[in-house]
Chain A
Amino acid sequence: MSTSLLLLLIVLIGFISYFAGRARSLAQANGKLSNLHSLPGYHGSYVAIWAILPAALVLGAWLVAAPMYIDSSTRAILPETVQTQGGATVELALGQVKSVAGGLKRLTAEELSSLENGSANLRSTLAAKGVALAGEGEPYMITAAQHFNAMSVTNRWLMSAVVLLIAIAGGAYAIRNIATRFRARNQVERVILGSLIVASSIAILTTVGIVASMLSEAGRFFTMVSPFEFFFGTVWDPRFSAAGSGGASGQFGLIPLLAGTLYIAFVAMLFAVPIGLFAAIYMAEYASPRLRSTAKPLLEVLAGIPTIVYGFFALVTVGPFLRDISAQLNGLVTGNYQNFIQAQSVVTAGIVMGIMLIPFVSSLSDDIITQVPRALRDGSLGLGATRSETVKKVILPAALPGIVGALLLTASRAVGETMIVVLAAGVAARMQIDPFEPMTTVTVKIVNQLTGDLEFTSPQTLVAFALGITLFVITLGLNIYALYIVRKYREQYE
């Protein structure tokens, strides 16, 4: 019986239980609904929960545990010669046994018997049935595969029987509980509350998952490359992650990547902060409601555009434009029409990322500026200050902590941005101060190291997780600090 059919059956039993529970409670009520503590629907749901929930839990646990048990039992009957050769060989043999097992199911009885008495070649027989075998089949594999198949079949039947039995028993137990005074609603609500708690703990699980997965993979990386070399190395040259090259080769210095990341983020902020801040001030202090209600959503459209579109924009418009204009400028000044800005460069990536960040800066700062109490504004204007003086001398100082928080949040976005830098910043990991040359970032290297064929044992791939955890820590730090500042500031005026 397939798993989906089993699930369907459980749901069906649940349905039947629902109506059975409902009917029983109605029967107990003797036609007078107010005799019941809970509505009949709750009684039905109570029975259905008892029918479905335990059975589904058992099914889930079984599906996880059974393959492990079958594998280990099959491993145990592999011949001594294989067993003694250690983990990898045993796993390989087990994999072959499983593909043989898959193939055996397609054979007819006579083909099987000719295989068993050794008159037919295992590999060619299976190949004829469309099952490719990695090596030449060994005789022991047939017995092991038959053992595997037999166990799988038994396991299937046992699982189906047990799960269905639990479903029926659960339903029956719950039906027996139903009585007029039975608090079915409270029971059902407890289950609902439990599922709400489970749902909200997923947020925690995600964080735990991020940290645990990155730490464990990064930990494996650090057994091959020392953390000192990684965090303080100034050369990034990981070589290729060729299959089989298990040993650490190449250099994994974080510094050039970090420098590129921060440089590009800095250029982006340099571009976005003045524009975003002035736009926010104008919007909050000067703009008529009409202008505000059109300009603000339009600016926020910039935040809704996928970053890959910005990357494309950098690639086909901004990059070539900067390259050409630099050639023209150079030509005007020195007569040599040679471009000094590369199409892929720190400024290209920085400017395009800056455009993307404008709406973040402007809407976050706008929120904070409008939160400054009216009284401060009126006081300053009443003393004869112009609007711009009020903004510069009263509002901005009052809003400063909040704005700093907003800028930190924006900076964390700039550091974690991927697609723009992948397309616009280049892949050359070097340290320099010339913004017109390409540089690379942490995110670009994560993408580079993890696309293509992977082998999860080489430092070339695992380094991506070390880079990832670095990135995670940086952005987390920025976020926590920013949220702390913003929250503290908000409390000040509320």
Chain B
Amino acid sequence: MTDIASPTVRISARPASATRDIGIKRRYAAERRFRAYGIGAISLGLFFLALLLWTVVSNGYTAFQQTTITLPIEFSEKVIDPKGERATDGKVLMTANYPLLVREALIKQLGIDASKRPLVKQATDMMSASSRTLLRDIVVADPSVIGKTIPVTLLAEANVDSAFKGQIDLSVEESKRKVKDQQVTWMNELASAGVLKKSFNTGIFTFGASSRPEAAGVGVAALGSLFMMLIVLVLSLPIGVAASIYLEEFAPKNRLTDLIEVNINNLAAVPSIVYGLLGLAVFINFAGMPRSAAVVGGLVLTLMTLPTIIIATRAALKAVPPSIRSAALGLGASKMQTIFHHVLPLAMPGILTGTIIGLAHALGETAPLLLIGMVAFVVDYPGSPMEPSTALPVQIYMWANEAERAFVERTSGAIIILLIFLVVMNLGAILLRRRFERRW
């Protein structure tokens, strides 16, 4: 009895009150603070995500518009082919003085005195230097235009483009900005005449590298990326799946397979730049493959993506319940038949999801490509994976190093394009998982 009695005595020895101070207020305050930290951390993370996307979008959405100037160009025979040799000498049409055609059309449009050189220079500076190739292509494609006057839509020079989009602060002193007052007057004049206007920029999707922002686009880089993604897909999916099947279904538990396991986990965490060094040393130096080629980029990205795909595939194979295997084996299928006819099809959604996510990672990877010479100024579309090409993220990197306002805009525009690709791929993966994934 005493040992029951003694605590009662002890309690009664204290003042028996319900408000015994166990610091409840302080502790609840601490609890609230702790909770607030958590909410704060999540909001901060989401805030940075929003800020990042806002930076890209606000800088970049204007890249999808381009200022164009439509001028009636007189394809005068006197300028293009003064000696009448174009039938015999093919070079005449290639090297003709096309900028002169643009200049004359512009002078006529603006009503400038052709003898005032500085004024004429300012006017022609408003036109992109890419007009030359544009007109040349028109004439070479159809020489019958010579002698006619045709309205041609030409690109405005990048600074005029920026000024027209309102990105250049026109209140700054004239000598400190790249667009002069006279040019702004002309710009407004042309705009009110309906000659100069903004239109959807198809060029950013089709052009290649260029030192002039208005003629630069991601088309060539995107094709390089496409080549690499095809190589990555064709190589890493079969190899990754085969490796996972062996490791998951066949491999005996021994030292070697343990080593392979540890290896794969570590390869997944090796910095991507190390793969670039590997590609440089093995594929380019040792095997003598061409530098800057999409094929080397594809191989490097394949090695980089393989661990991701193997890890995803093994998880997908593991998720197929053993009862499926037992049933197939029980009906007399061989182990190989069980796996290829029953387990693999059931694991396919998981494998494809992992593959798409791996590809998305590879698509955004830049560092290894810098080392294998894909930082190249590639103007023309590569015809095959063996030809010099560049990649979408590398193009972004190259543009990010340019200081001009128009390039900042284009960098963001290219990032938007890249992010759209990634979003589409990831959404595809999510849909695939939602649609086909089975819960056993």
Question: In the bound complex, do residue A306 and residue B42 qualify as a contact, i.e. CB atoms below 8 Å apart?
Answer: no
**Chain B residue with Cβ nearest A310:** B52
Interface residue B4 (Cβ < 8 Å from any Cβ of A): no
- Asked whether A202 and B49 contact (CB < 8 A) given A278-B38, A308-B397, A450-B280, the answer is no
How would residues 280 to 319 of chain A score, 1 for a CB under 8 Å from any chain B CB and 0 otherwise?
A: 0111001000000001001101101111111111011100
Question: In the bound complex, do residue B243 and residue A202 qualify as a contact, i.e. CB atoms below 8 Å apart?
Answer: yes
Question: In the bound complex, do residue B273 and residue A304 qualify as a contact, i.e. CB atoms below 8 Å apart?
Answer: no
- Asked whether A275 and B41 contact (CB < 8 A) given A313-B52, A475-B270, the answer is yes
**Chain A residue with Cβ nearest B238:** A199
Question: In the bound complex, do residue B38 and residue A286 qualify as a contact, i.e. CB atoms below 8 Å apart?
Answer: yes
Interface residue A141 (Cβ < 8 Å from any Cβ of B): no
| Option from A204, A278, A313, A446 in Cβ contact (under 8 Å) with B55 | A313
Q: Count B-side interface residues using an 8 Å CB cutoff.
A: 87
Interface residue A88 (Cβ < 8 Å from any Cβ of B): no
* Count of CB-CB pairs between chains A and B under 8 Å: 253
**Chain A residue with Cβ nearest B60:** A312
**Chain B residue with Cβ nearest A216:** B281
How would residues 249 to 265 of chain B score, 1 for a CB under 8 Å from any chain A CB and 0 otherwise?
A: 01100000001101111
**Contact residues in A for B271 (Cβ distance below 8 Å):** 412-413, 415-418, 443, 471-472, 475
Within the complex, the shortest CB–CB distance from A110 to chain B, in Å, comes to 29
- Asked whether A451 and B375 contact (CB < 8 A) given A214-B281, A416-B274, the answer is yes
**Chain A residue with Cβ nearest B235:** A202
Within the complex, the shortest CB–CB distance from B310 to chain A, in Å, comes to 7
- Asked whether A316 and B264 contact (CB < 8 A) given A199-B243, A419-B367, A447-B371, the answer is no
Within the complex, the shortest CB–CB distance from A357 to chain B, in Å, comes to 11
Within the complex, the shortest CB–CB distance from A348 to chain B, in Å, comes to 14
CA distance A283 to B277 in the complex (A): 39
CA distance A283 to B55 in the complex (A): 27
Interface residue A336 (Cβ < 8 Å from any Cβ of B): no
Interface residue A84 (Cβ < 8 Å from any Cβ of B): no
**Contact residues in B for A201 (Cβ distance below 8 Å):** 260
Interface residue B345 (Cβ < 8 Å from any Cβ of A): no
How would residues 299 to 319 of chain B score, 1 for a CB under 8 Å from any chain A CB and 0 otherwise?
A: 000010011001000000000
Spot the interface stretch: B27-35, B199-207, B379-387.
Answer: B27-35
| Option from A196, A206, A295, A310 in Cβ contact (under 8 Å) with B245 | A196
| Option from A197, A305, A450, A480 in Cβ contact (under 8 Å) with B419 | A305
Question: In the bound complex, do residue B55 and residue A282 qualify as a contact, i.e. CB atoms below 8 Å apart?
Answer: no
**Contact residues in A for B378 (Cβ distance below 8 Å):** none
**Contact residues in A for B273 (Cβ distance below 8 Å):** 416, 418, 443, 446-447, 468, 471
**Contact residues in B for A451 (Cβ distance below 8 Å):** 370-371, 373, 375
Question: In the bound complex, do residue A278 and residue B415 qualify as a contact, i.e. CB atoms below 8 Å apart?
Answer: no
| Option from A308, A358, A468 in Cβ contact (under 8 Å) with B45 | A358
Within the complex, the shortest CB–CB distance from A5 to chain B, in Å, comes to 17
Interface residue B170 (Cβ < 8 Å from any Cβ of A): no
Question: In the bound complex, do residue B246 and residue A206 qualify as a contact, i.e. CB atoms below 8 Å apart?
Answer: no
**Chain B residue with Cβ nearest A456:** B285
CA distance A276 to B267 in the complex (A): 25
Interface residue A161 (Cβ < 8 Å from any Cβ of B): no
| Option from B263, B272, B396 in Cβ contact (under 8 Å) with A203 | B263
How would residues 167 to 206 of chain B score, 1 for a CB under 8 Å from any chain A CB and 0 otherwise?
A: 0000000000000000000000000000000000000000
**Contact residues in B for A312 (Cβ distance below 8 Å):** 56, 396, 400, 411-412, 415
CA distance A422 to B419 in the complex (A): 21
**Chain B residue with Cβ nearest A468:** B277
Chain A interface residue bracket vs B: 35 or more
Interface residue A406 (Cβ < 8 Å from any Cβ of B): no
Interface residue B152 (Cβ < 8 Å from any Cβ of A): no
- Asked whether A283 and B336 contact (CB < 8 A) given A203-B260, A298-B49, A471-B273, the answer is no
How would residues 246 to 290 of chain A score, 1 for a CB under 8 Å from any chain B CB and 0 otherwise?
A: 000000000000000000000000000011111101110010000
Interface residue B123 (Cβ < 8 Å from any Cβ of A): no
Question: In the bound complex, do residue A279 and residue B41 qualify as a contact, i.e. CB atoms below 8 Å apart?
Answer: yes
CA distance A417 to B267 in the complex (A): 15
**Contact residues in A for B431 (Cβ distance below 8 Å):** none
- Asked whether A416 and B272 contact (CB < 8 A) given A199-B242, A386-B30, the answer is yes
Within the complex, the shortest CB–CB distance from A115 to chain B, in Å, comes to 30
Interface residue A322 (Cβ < 8 Å from any Cβ of B): no
Spot the interface stretch: B74-82, B96-104, B128-136, B358-366.
Answer: B358-366
- Asked whether A203 and B364 contact (CB < 8 A) given A185-B334, A304-B426, A471-B271, the answer is no
Interface residue A165 (Cβ < 8 Å from any Cβ of B): no
How would residues 405 to 440 of chain B score, 1 for a CB under 8 Å from any chain A CB and 0 otherwise?
A: 000100110010011001000100000000000000
Question: In the bound complex, do residue B281 and residue A217 qualify as a contact, i.e. CB atoms below 8 Å apart?
Answer: yes
Interface residue A355 (Cβ < 8 Å from any Cβ of B): yes
Question: In the bound complex, do residue B367 and residue A418 qualify as a contact, i.e. CB atoms below 8 Å apart?
Answer: yes
Within the complex, the shortest CB–CB distance from A310 to chain B, in Å, comes to 8
Question: In the bound complex, do residue A316 and residue B370 qualify as a contact, i.e. CB atoms below 8 Å apart?
Answer: no
How would residues 215 to 246 of chain B score, 1 for a CB under 8 Å from any chain A CB and 0 otherwise?
A: 00000000000000000000000111011111
| Option from B51, B275, B303 in Cβ contact (under 8 Å) with A317 | B51
Within 8 A of B (CB), among A210-229: 210, 213-214, 216-217
| Option from A200, A302, A306 in Cβ contact (under 8 Å) with B260 | A200
Question: In the bound complex, do residue B366 and residue A306 qualify as a contact, i.e. CB atoms below 8 Å apart?
Answer: yes
Interface residue A434 (Cβ < 8 Å from any Cβ of B): no
**Chain A residue with Cβ nearest B256:** A204
Question: In the bound complex, do residue A203 and residue B243 qualify as a contact, i.e. CB atoms below 8 Å apart?
Answer: yes
Question: In the bound complex, do residue B49 and residue A301 qualify as a contact, i.e. CB atoms below 8 Å apart?
Answer: yes
Interface residue A114 (Cβ < 8 Å from any Cβ of B): no
Interface residue B327 (Cβ < 8 Å from any Cβ of A): no
Interface residue A151 (Cβ < 8 Å from any Cβ of B): no
Within the complex, the shortest CB–CB distance from A39 to chain B, in Å, comes to 10
| Option from A275, A306, A483 in Cβ contact (under 8 Å) with B365 | A306
Question: In the bound complex, do residue B371 and residue A446 qualify as a contact, i.e. CB atoms below 8 Å apart?
Answer: yes
Within the complex, the shortest CB–CB distance from A439 to chain B, in Å, comes to 18
Within the complex, the shortest CB–CB distance from B26 to chain A, in Å, comes to 11
**Contact residues in A for B61 (Cβ distance below 8 Å):** none
Within 8 A of A (CB), among B1-57: 27-28, 30-31, 33-35, 37-42, 44-46, 48-49, 51-52, 55-56
**Most B CB within 10 A of own CB, among A196, A197, A281, A308:** A308
Spot the interface stretch: A27-35, A99-107, A387-395.
Answer: A387-395
Interface residue B72 (Cβ < 8 Å from any Cβ of A): no
How would residues 411 to 447 of chain A score, 1 for a CB under 8 Å from any chain B CB and 0 otherwise?
A: 0110111110011000000000000000000010011
Question: In the bound complex, do residue B38 and residue A202 qualify as a contact, i.e. CB atoms below 8 Å apart?
Answer: no
Question: In the bound complex, do residue B366 and residue A307 qualify as a contact, i.e. CB atoms below 8 Å apart?
Answer: yes
Interface residue A189 (Cβ < 8 Å from any Cβ of B): yes
Interface residue A192 (Cβ < 8 Å from any Cβ of B): yes
How would residues 459 to 494 of chain A score, 1 for a CB under 8 Å from any chain B CB and 0 otherwise?
A: 000001100100110011001100100000000000
Within the complex, the shortest CB–CB distance from B275 to chain A, in Å, comes to 8
Question: In the bound complex, do residue A278 and residue B260 qualify as a contact, i.e. CB atoms below 8 Å apart?
Answer: no
Question: In the bound complex, do residue A200 and residue B371 qualify as a contact, i.e. CB atoms below 8 Å apart?
Answer: no
| Option from B28, B250, B260 in Cβ contact (under 8 Å) with A386 | B28
CA distance A298 to B53 in the complex (A): 12
List the 4 shortest-distance A-B pairs measured between CB atoms, nearest first. Answer: A416-B271, A282-B38, A306-B364, A213-B281
17 other A-B residue contacts (CB within 8 Å) besides A358-B45, A388-B31, A388-B35: A200-B244, A200-B247, A207-B266, A210-B277, A275-B45, A276-B41, A279-B42, A295-B46, A304-B426, A306-B418, A307-B366, A317-B51, A355-B45, A412-B271, A423-B400, A447-B367, A471-B271
Residue pairs across A and B with Cβ atoms less than 8 A apart, 28 shown, are A193-B246, A199-B239, A203-B307, A206-B278, A207-B267, A210-B270, A214-B278, A217-B281, A276-B45, A277-B41, A278-B41, A281-B38, A299-B42, A299-B46, A301-B49, A302-B49, A305-B422, A307-B364, A308-B364, A308-B393, A315-B400, A317-B55, A355-B52, A389-B27, A389-B31, A417-B271, A423-B397, A483-B265
* Chain B residues proximal to chain A, CB less than 8 Å: 27-28, 30-31, 33-35, 37-42, 44-46, 48-49, 51-52, 55-56, 59, 238-240, 242-247, 250-251, 259-260, 262-267, 269-278, 280-282, 285-286, 303, 306-307, 310, 334-336, 360-361, 363-367, 370-371, 373, 375, 393, 396-397, 400, 408, 411-412, 415, 418-419, 422, 426
